[in-house]
Amino acid sequence: MPDLETVLAALAEEMAARPDRGEVASYIPQLGKIDPQRFGIAVALADGRMLVAGDADEPFSIQSISKIFTLTLALGKVGDALWRRVGREPSGNPFNSIIQLEHERGIPRNPFINSGAIVVTDVLLAGHQPREAIGEILRFVQFLAEDDTVFIDKDVAASEKATGYRNVALANYMRAFDNLNHAPELALGVYFHHCAIAMSCRQLALSGRFLAHGGKSPSTGHSVISPERARRILALMLTCGHYDGSGDFAFRVGIPGKSGVGGGILGIVPGIASIAVWSPGLNENGNSRLGSIVLEKLAKAMDWSIFAP
């Protein structure tokens, strides 16, 4: 097995030199300002080691990667009842598709496309003011990362609120089907804020460890969720974590992953590693272009795959 530290350093150098970096998301104006040259990677291993390369300590907008954490919280709150309001099938459509929601009568295909994540956020709002729900989500992520400096970038949240017309349409449409219990603007307010959580690759890799280790934090041994639930979240990440690019990601990389339009990806090698990568330029499916490529190369170099014997 090659030395992981050497592999990461070589990959970071290779990625820094590549000109084909994809397009930075500009539909959220604040994200459009990010330098596409940025690249970071962090790998948290089972034995507690953390290996990093590139801009691994620079916070970026985790965007849809936050949907893993809200799903985890919502399952803790309502359990399998969640599946009455959200499906578990890959969408095969863009993450903000409106036409699919009409076909499926207001029941989103899965919890990782925007409509599904807005329903999940609506579940977390029950019994809370939006401010409390946002605080609960942020504290959960800080707890997982074992780092209280994880924060919500208010400028990114405001930028998305000012331009999030498609998400407003999705939320209103679901409300018309009685699949939203709160006013669309309240659910969206919480949604935009959790998407605006800012973390570094190092913090994100730490926060994914519970998924790599059967629902347990490897540093404390404490259980965050049951092993069964961790497996199910990983199954959803594999099948739905990259939207209409999920099949290709599974084919190329072979591990569960979740992307965000900020250019981050959290990848999990069960029992072995929690990996966070960040490169802001996106491919045609809205997933980090170099992030996907570097995960493919890393998995190949280390022989990491959930399909390996």
Total of chain residues touching ligand GLN, rule CB under 6 A? 11
**In angstroms, rounded to a whole number, what is the distance separating the alpha carbons of residues 11 and 130?**
41
3-state class (DSSP) for residue 95: coil
| Dihedral (Cα; 225, 227, 233, 234), 10-degree rounding | 140
**By CB under 6 A, residue 260 contacts ligand GLN:** yes
- Minimum distance from residue 271 beta carbon to ligand GLN (Å): 27
Binding ligand GLN (rule: CB under 6 A), the pick from 39, 95, 140, 278 is 95
Which tokens go with 110? 């899965």
**In angstroms, rounded to a whole number, what is the distance separating the alpha carbons of residues 233 and 148?**
25
**In angstroms, rounded to a whole number, what is the distance separating the alpha carbons of residues 112 and 102?**
17
- Minimum distance from residue 261 beta carbon to ligand GLN (Å): 4
Which positions ≥6 away from 296 have C-beta within 8 Å? 252, 253
Residues 194-233: x/- map of binding to ligand GLN (CB under 6 A)? -x--------------------------------------
**By CB under 6 A, residue 273 contacts ligand GLN:** no
Nearest CB to ligand GLN, comparing residues 106 and 215: 106
Residues forming the active site: 64, 67, 191, 243, 261
- Minimum distance from residue 35 beta carbon to ligand GLN (Å): 19
CB 143 within 8 A of CB 197: no
DSSP secondary structure code for residue 53 in this structure: E
Q: Using CB under 6 A, which residues numbered 122 to 161 contact ligand GLN?
A: 160
Nearest CB to ligand GLN, comparing residues 40 and 286: 286
Nearest CB to ligand GLN, comparing residues 64 and 110: 64
Nearest CB to ligand GLN, comparing residues 193 and 213: 193
Helix, strand, coil fractions of the chain, as percent rounded to 5: 50, 15, 35
**Chain contacts with ligand GLN (rule: CB under 6 A):** 63-64, 95-96, 114, 160, 167, 195, 260-261, 286
